[in-house]
Chain A
Amino acid sequence: MSEPAVLTEQSACELTLDNLWQTSEGQRVLSCMQCGMCAGTCPYGDVMDYPPRRIIGMLREGQLEEVLKSQSLLNCVACYACMAKCPRGIRLTEVLLPLVKEQTFAQLPEVPAELQKALQNTLRYGNPMGESPRKRIEWIKTAGVPIRIFQQDPRPADVLWFVECYTSYHPRGQDNSRATARLFHALGIDFAILGNEEKCAGECARLLGEAGLFDTLTDYNKVLLQKYRFNRIVTSGAHAYDAFKYQYAPQGFDYEVHHTTPFLFRHLDKLKPKLTKKLNYTVTYHDSCCLGRHNGFYDEPRALLQAIPGVKLVEMTHNRINAICCGGGGGGMWLDTYYKAKGYERLSERRIQEAIATGADVLAVSCPYEVSRFEDALKVFGADKRMKVRDIVELLAESMEA
C-alpha cells in the first residue's frame, strides 16, 4: 500500500508582491514613515544587507530585484518583533515579509543543504526530521496513559490534539507529549489524536517562503481534519497554532484552536489542586514569539508556573514583547549551519546568556523548538549542569507526581 501522492494540483496563495499595493495591507506599507523601529528591533538586523526598514523603502522605489539578490530575508527568523513594534501597524511578519521571502527563496541559487533536507523531508514524510510517518505515534507506548487515535476509534471527541512533529519524534519533544497526555488525562479531557495520519502543519515552511510546501500540507491536513468530529483543536506546536488560527481559518477551516499552554491555563482552577509536589526551582520563562508577541499570551504561561508550589519566577532582561527569539522560526531551525558558516551569532546562544544571568535553575519554554535549541546553547556555554530547559507542561506534570 503506497501513500497517496503528496503533491496535488491547486493554485498557490493569491496575494503576490505585484498585487499587494492594490490591497489595504499594501496601502499600509505605503504609509511607512521609515522610522526604523523594525530594523532596530530585528535580532538579525545587523547582519542583513537590507533590514526591514530598507526593504520597505526599496520596494516602494521598485528595487525588488536588489532586495531579492541580497538574500537578506534568509536571515529573518519570523520572530514578529518588527511587526509588534511598527507604529503604523504594518503586518511585516504576517504578510509582507513572507511575500518577499517567497521570491527570495525561489531565486536562491543554492538552498542551504540542511534546510533543503528539512523541506524535502517535510514534503515526503510530513516531518522535517525525515522519520518514518509510521513511527509518529511511537511515543504513546511510553505515555503511561491511554491515548485515543481517531483512525482506530473515530467516535467524536471534544478535543483534537494536534501533536506536531518535534513533539512526536524528538526525544525531548516526546517528554512534552507524555506530560501533555498525563495533564489531559488528569483533567478528564475527552481527546483524540490523528496518529500516523498527522503531518506537519507547515507554518515554518510558509514563513520561510516555501508557500507551495505549506499549501500542499494544508491541502492534506484539511481533508484529514474533515474526516473526524471534534469541538476544538489543541496543539502542542506554537507554529501550528498560528497556522490553524491565521491560515486555515480564512480558508473556511475556522476551528476553535488553542495552544496547550493557554488551554491549560483555562483549566487552572481544576489543575491547581492536583499540583501537589513542591518543586523548589527558580524558573525564568522564555516567551515564545508565536505565543507572546504574535498572540499576546504573556500572563497565562507565567500564571501556570506560579501555580506550581515552590516555584520562584524570575524575569530575564528582555521579556514579554521584548523577548529575544530562539532563532528557530521561519526556517531558522534548519539554518544553524548556514548562520554559523556566515559567522553570525546563534540567537539561541544570545538568549541563553540572559537566562543564565538570572541565576535560575530552570528555563521554562512553551514552543517545541526551544527545548533542543536552548539545551544545545547551554552546552556551548558549559552551563548545562547549572540550568535545565523544561517545557511548562513538563513542570506541571512533574508537580502532579504524588
Chain B
Amino acid sequence: MNILVLLKMVPDVVEELEVGPDGKSLDTSFLRTILNERDDHALEQALLLKDRLGGKITVLALDAPDMDDVLFTALAKGADRAVKITGAPEGLTTHGAARLCAQAIAGGPGLLPADLVLTGVQALDDLDGLAAPLLAQQLGFAYVGVVTGVTADGPNATVIKEYAGGVRGEFAVRLPAVLGVQAAEKPPRYVPVAKVRAVMKAQKIETVPAPAEAGAALVEVRQMAKPVVSSHAEMLEGSPEEIAGKLCELLAKRGLL
C-alpha cells in the first residue's frame, strides 16, 4: 500500500498572534510555526496502517520554516520518503495550495500511484476543512473527511467517520482516496531525539519545484483584526461567606432570584 501524507505548518499559538502592519496578515516577526495537529494524526494513522499492512509512506509538504525538522521527525517515526515542494508563491489561499499540491503530486517523481492520501481534516487556518476535499477533486480521487480510523483491504478501504453526538459511520471507499483525518486510532507516537538526529545524518529530504501555474486567487483578505473586547468578567473577592453574599446580591439585583 502506497500512502501519501500531506503535512502543513500553522501558526503556533503558544505565542500571541499579532496583526501585521498591512492590517491583512499576521505579524511574522515573532511568529513560529508548528505542524498542524491533525496532520500529525494523519501521519500517525499512516504509520499504523504501515505497521499493520506494510507498504510505503511518503510525506509531502510545501516548504516552510522549520519544515525540515518536521520531515526528519516523520522519517524517524517510520515514513520512507520525505518530499518538499519549494518555491511556492507566498500567501497561498487554501484553493491555491490544494491546486499546487495536486499538480505536484501528479507531476512529482514517483508520488503516484498512491492508494491513500492522508491529511488533517482541518487546520488552524483552514477551519472549513477545504484543503483535503479540494485536493481530492483535483486528483479525481474519492474523499471522506472527519476520519477516525482506517482499514484497507485490496481495492477498498473501510473508513470510520465521526458525526456529532458520538455517532460514527462506517464507509467502504474505493481506492485511491483522499482522507481528511480528525484523529488517528492512537495518539501520535514519540520518537527519541537521538533517532531524529541519526536520520538527519543518514537520510535526505527530496525537493520538487512548485509548478509554475498556480492560478489567480479566488478570495482576497481585506482586513485582519483582533476581536474587540466588549465586556469584562468581574471577580468576586473575599471569604467564602462574603463571596456568597455578594453573589446573592448580584443575582437579586438582576432579578434572577
Are chains A and B native binding partners rather than an unrelated pairing? yes
B163: chain A residues within 8 A (beta carbon): none
**Contacting pair A2 B66 (CB below 8 A):** yes
**Residue from A10, A102, A134 within 8 A of B197 (CB atoms):** A10
Show 23 A/B contacts (Cβ-Cβ < 8 Å), sorted by A. A1-B29, A3-B32, A5-B66, A7-B193, A7-B196, A7-B197, A11-B197, A11-B201, A105-B192, A106-B195, A116-B187, A120-B190, A130-B14, A132-B15, A132-B16, A211-B194, A212-B192, A212-B193, A212-B195, A212-B197, A213-B192, A213-B193, A216-B193
Q: Contact string, A1-45, partner B, CB cutoff 8 A, digits 1/0?
A: 111011111111000000000000000000000000000000000
Query: How far is the CB of A195 from the nearest CB of chain B, in Å?
Result: 15
Kindly list 19 other residue pairs between chains A and B, CB separation below 8 angstroms, not including A5-B68, A215-B194: A2-B65, A2-B66, A3-B32, A7-B197, A8-B197, A102-B194, A106-B195, A110-B189, A116-B190, A119-B190, A120-B190, A125-B14, A132-B16, A134-B30, A210-B194, A212-B193, A212-B197, A215-B197, A216-B193
Indicate whether A111 reaches chain B with its CB closer than 8 angstroms: yes
Indicate whether B31 reaches chain A with its CB closer than 8 angstroms: yes
Indicate whether B143 reaches chain A with its CB closer than 8 angstroms: no
Q: CA A317 – CA B30 in complex, angstroms?
A: 52
Indicate whether B33 reaches chain A with its CB closer than 8 angstroms: yes
A102: chain B residues within 8 A (beta carbon): 194
A7: chain B residues within 8 A (beta carbon): 69, 72, 193, 196-197, 200
Indicate whether A113 reaches chain B with its CB closer than 8 angstroms: yes
Indicate whether A123 reaches chain B with its CB closer than 8 angstroms: yes
Q: A131-B14, A132-B15, A134-B30 are in contact. Are A9 and B197 (CB under 8 A)?
A: yes
Q: CA A390 – CA B29 in complex, angstroms?
A: 40
Indicate whether B34 reaches chain A with its CB closer than 8 angstroms: yes
Q: CA A210 – CA B193 in complex, angstroms?
A: 7
Q: Contact string, B147-158, partner A, CB cutoff 8 A, digits 1/0?
A: 000000000000
| Total number of B residues with any Cβ neighbor in A under 8 Å | 28
Q: Contact string, B1-43, partner A, CB cutoff 8 A, digits 1/0?
A: 0000000000000111000000000001111111000000000
**Contacting pair A12 B14 (CB below 8 A):** no
Q: CA A212 – CA B15 in complex, angstroms?
A: 26
Q: A111-B190, A215-B194 are in contact. Are A5 and B33 (CB under 8 A)?
A: no
A120: chain B residues within 8 A (beta carbon): 190
Our count of residue pairs bridging A and B at CB distance below 8 angstroms stands at: 72
**Residue from A125, A132, A215 within 8 A of B193 (CB atoms):** A215
Q: CA A106 – CA B190 in complex, angstroms?
A: 9
Question: For chain A residues 69-123, which have a beta carbon within 8 Å of chain B?
Answer: 102, 105-106, 108, 110-111, 113, 116, 119-120, 123
Query: How far is the CB of A293 from the nearest CB of chain B, in Å?
Result: 28
Indicate whether A124 reaches chain B with its CB closer than 8 angstroms: yes
B66: chain A residues within 8 A (beta carbon): 2, 5
| A111 nearest in chain B by CB position | B190
Q: CA A102 – CA B192 in complex, angstroms?
A: 9
Q: CA A7 – CA B186 in complex, angstroms?
A: 26
Query: How far is the CB of B68 from the nearest CB of chain A, in Å?
Result: 7
Query: How far is the CB of B142 from the nearest CB of chain A, in Å?
Result: 32
**Contacting pair B201 A1 (CB below 8 A):** no
Most buried by B among A2, A116, A123, A134: A2
| B33 nearest in chain A by CB position | A2
B187: chain A residues within 8 A (beta carbon): 113, 116
Q: CA A11 – CA B197 in complex, angstroms?
A: 7
A125: chain B residues within 8 A (beta carbon): 14
**Residue from B68, B69, B196 within 8 A of A212 (CB atoms):** B196
Query: How far is the CB of B239 from the nearest CB of chain A, in Å?
Result: 15
**Contacting pair B197 A216 (CB below 8 A):** yes
A213: chain B residues within 8 A (beta carbon): 192-193
Q: List 7 A-B pairs, minimum CB-CB distance, nearest first.
A: A212-B194, A212-B193, A111-B190, A2-B65, A213-B193, A116-B190, A12-B194
B31: chain A residues within 8 A (beta carbon): 2
Q: A2-B66, A7-B200, A9-B200 are in contact. Are A123 and B29 (CB under 8 A)?
A: no
B28: chain A residues within 8 A (beta carbon): 1
A134: chain B residues within 8 A (beta carbon): 15, 30
Q: Contact string, B57-77, partner A, CB cutoff 8 A, digits 1/0?
A: 000000001101100100000
B201: chain A residues within 8 A (beta carbon): 9, 11
Q: Contact string, B100-127, partner A, CB cutoff 8 A, digits 1/0?
A: 0000000000000000000000000000
A211: chain B residues within 8 A (beta carbon): 192, 194
